[in-house]
Structure 1
Amino acid sequence: MSEAISPSPPRENRSVAIVVLLVLEAALVISWSAGFVGIRFAIDHAPIFLILLWRSLVSGLVLLPFALTMGPPLRWKDILPQIWFGALAMSGYLAGFALAIVFGVPTGLVALIADMLPLAVAILSWPVLGQALSARQWLGSFLGLAGVLIASGWSIDMGHVPLWAYGLPVLGTLSLALATLLQKRSPAGAMPVHRSLCVQCLSASAIFAMFAWHEGSVLPVLDWGFIGGVLWLVFVATFGAWSLYYIALRKSSPTRVTSVLYLSPPVTMIWAWLMFGEPLSWAMAAGLVVSLAGIVIVARSPAVLAGRTRDS
């Protein structure tokens, strides 16, 4: 009798794990999209790198007491990789897009390239992790990308800027993709999220400080629009989005986690519609449906499911 009922608990645990992962991914998409809202609030009140500096610095300082007191003593061999991950994941990713906007690349096009992160992870998975994607995963990734193109590509204006400037957001996307895969592979990736996020934010703030100083000042702007935007970016976009991103990465595969972010552009458009009155369109709705189809294909891939089971 005991042998007949023994498989039941594992199935129940698996169902609970799937539900938890879906809730986690939904929260990730919402909070990741909220980052654009914070930038929208603050960018009219301060230069972009000053915003990124204070977003990172305040986030790191808030987390610092918890990082120092919660858990075993910190060791340099664990801290140094996190500094490297912060330089790649936060500084490289955000600076690439910020510089592109500074040099005149249309914001819509920059956002569109940012949405190609899942494809960059898929391309780098084999050389970094030795994980070749299945045909089903490639199909899902390209469907997700197609949804993004349908939803937002129709409104893109290439503008008149130097050709090399378009490579900046591409480098930013590859930087985050590489950091994602390296952190998944590295033993330092097991550091508690509050500690890794603290180190990464502080390391990113040091890099952003140099860009902000070059722009003119590292001092905060005493304006409620700037302060409100930074606080939103700290508590929603950083503590929310990046924490959920790293937690989800530990519970699932990089391909699945980043594929879920294909939902970020349509959700961001809904945020913009609700908060700023920006128009919605049937193209956006169609893009959302196509992206959802791609995500479902990736999420149900046997390779992704197997990776999730091993990680959990």
Structure 2
Amino acid sequence: MRDKSSATLASPIAVGRETPAPAPAEGGASWRGTLLAGLGVLTFSGSFPGTVFAMEGFDPYLVAIGRAVVAVVAAVVFLLVARAPLLPPREHLWSYLVIAAGVVFGFPILSGLALDAGADTSHAAVVVGLLPAATAVCAVLRGGERPRPLFWAACALGALSITVFTVGRGGGHVTGADLLLVGALLSAAAGYTEGGRLARRTPGWRVISYALVVAAPLTVPLTVALALTTQVRPSAVSLAGFAYVGLISMFLGFIPWYAGLAKGGIARAGQTQLAQPLLTLLWAWLLLGEPFDPVTVAAALAVLVCVAVSQRTRS
């Protein structure tokens, strides 16, 4: 009879198998999930500046689709080194298709088009601050989580702060770029929730790897076609931006992010992304020289307070 302790100690990366994981825990494990999710948010916060840099030399569609090709190369290397199957389990194929639709296609394409349509990095970052609220709703509908009333109060306050900021910056109305950003955050919320569910029993790096592999039959030929038919003006800056959104935003950042959602709870740990606007504002100021007014800073700080409140609640 096989020794259960040895099976428990076996690394899922080494043996290339999916291993069951317990439901999100309270206490220390929950806070570890928050820290892991926060690390993912830190990497995601550079996505908008990286996209702006990349679009200096590449078409917006090429940046949005091509980043997934850069990421899938890294994902295949990880799978080969771990001797894991290159294709996901058939019973979870639908979930990986949802993840691919949300985080491989939906969010990169729609957010890139919003930036190309005139939304500056600071504005886009704060609008996407609504993403944690959308993720929390998806966590209830799809993930079976039941946050407490205080959590929803903090979540609603963060969403209200973002909405007031968005309408105010748009002169009292919602712009076309705002609609693109809303579509982007809804796409990401679906992909985050489905990925967080799978990460409860599958390592986070394999979740994003399989989503990229599933999307590859579309992303690879589309990238080749776009590279041949659009104007390409590569430079050191645009290549660096492309590399960031491909390797960091599209792959490496998802490893701690999905692990954090699995350990801390999708709704609860997902609220750490309320901090992303403030971090992105800092990167935009440092790297792009974008000015930001006190209203922008106030909106970002308001949602940061909501993060702190939401993390003190339990499901």
Fold match by TM threshold 0.5: yes
Counterparts in 2 of 1:234 and 1:93: CA distance versus 1, 3 Å: closer
Q: Indicate whether 1:45 and 2:42 are aligned.
A: no
Q: Indicate whether 1:140 and 2:151 are aligned.
A: no
Q: Sequence identity, in percent?
A: 20
Q: Distance in 2 between matches of 1:169 and 1:152?
A: 11
SS in 2 for 1:65: helix
SS in 1 for 2:253: helix
Post-superposition offset of 1:16: 5.6
Q: Indicate whether 1:114 and 2:125 are aligned.
A: no
Q: Indicate whether 1:33 and 2:45 are aligned.
A: yes
Letter in 2 for 1:172: A
The 8 Å contact of residues 105 and 158 in structure 1, kept in 2 or not, is answered as: no
Map 1:8-87 → 2, pairs under 5 A: 17=29, 20-74=32-86, 76-77=89-90, 80=93, 81-87=95-101
For residues 93-114 of structure 1, what are the alpha-carbon distances to aligned partners after superposition, in whole Å with 9 as ceiling and x for unaligned?
2223334556x47456654442
Partner residue, 2:105? 91
Q: Distance in 2 between matches of 1:199 and 1:218?
A: 29
Letter in 2 for 1:259: Q
The 8 Å contact of residues 55 and 234 in structure 1, kept in 2 or not, is answered as: yes
The 8 Å contact of residues 184 and 250 in structure 1, kept in 2 or not, is answered as: yes
Partner residue, 1:172? 184
SS in 1 for 2:299: helix
Q: Distance in 2 between matches of 1:148 and 1:29?
A: 18
For residues 94-150 of structure 1, what are the alpha-carbon distances to aligned partners after superposition, in whole Å with 9 as ceiling and x for unaligned?
223334556x47456654442211121233333323434432111111222244456
Q: Distance in 2 between matches of 1:76 and 1:219?
A: 39
Letter in 2 for 1:123: V
Q: Indicate whether 1:242 and 2:257 are aligned.
A: no
For residues 139-170 of structure 1, what are the alpha-carbon distances to aligned partners after superposition, in whole Å with 9 as ceiling and x for unaligned?
11122224445666643458997x7x754433
Partner residue, 2:14? none
Letter in 1 for 2:99: F
Partner residue, 1:259? 271
Aligned residue pairs, count: 287
The 8 Å contact of residues 36 and 268 in structure 1, kept in 2 or not, is answered as: yes
The 8 Å contact of residues 147 and 286 in structure 1, kept in 2 or not, is answered as: no
For residues 169-222 of structure 1, what are the alpha-carbon distances to aligned partners after superposition, in whole Å with 9 as ceiling and x for unaligned?
333322222232233345x76333333222323444554567664697379654
**TM-score for both structures, normalised by structure 1:** 0.76
Post-superposition offset of 1:281: 3.5
The 8 Å contact of residues 143 and 293 in structure 1, kept in 2 or not, is answered as: no
Letter in 1 for 2:259: I
Counterparts in 2 of 1:272 and 1:112: CA distance versus 1, 3 Å: closer
Counterparts in 2 of 1:92 and 1:30: CA distance versus 1, 3 Å: same
SS in 1 for 2:56: coil
Partner residue, 1:306? none
Partner residue, 2:207? 196
The 8 Å contact of residues 273 and 279 in structure 1, kept in 2 or not, is answered as: yes
Counterparts in 2 of 1:219 and 1:73: CA distance versus 1, 3 Å: farther
Post-superposition offset of 1:270: 1.0
Partner residue, 2:19? none
- 4+ aligned runs moved over 6 Å, structure 1: 158-161
Letter in 2 for 1:98: G
SS in 1 for 2:188: helix
**TM-score for both structures, normalised by structure 2:** 0.75
Counterparts in 2 of 1:154 and 1:300: CA distance versus 1, 3 Å: same
Letter in 1 for 2:204: V
Partner residue, 1:127? 141
Counterparts in 2 of 1:120 and 1:252: CA distance versus 1, 3 Å: same
Post-superposition offset of 1:253: 1.3
Counterparts in 2 of 1:222 and 1:67: CA distance versus 1, 3 Å: same
Deviation larger for 210-219 or 62-71 = 210-219
Deviation larger for 19-28 or 90-99 = 19-28
Counterparts in 2 of 1:217 and 1:199: CA distance versus 1, 3 Å: farther
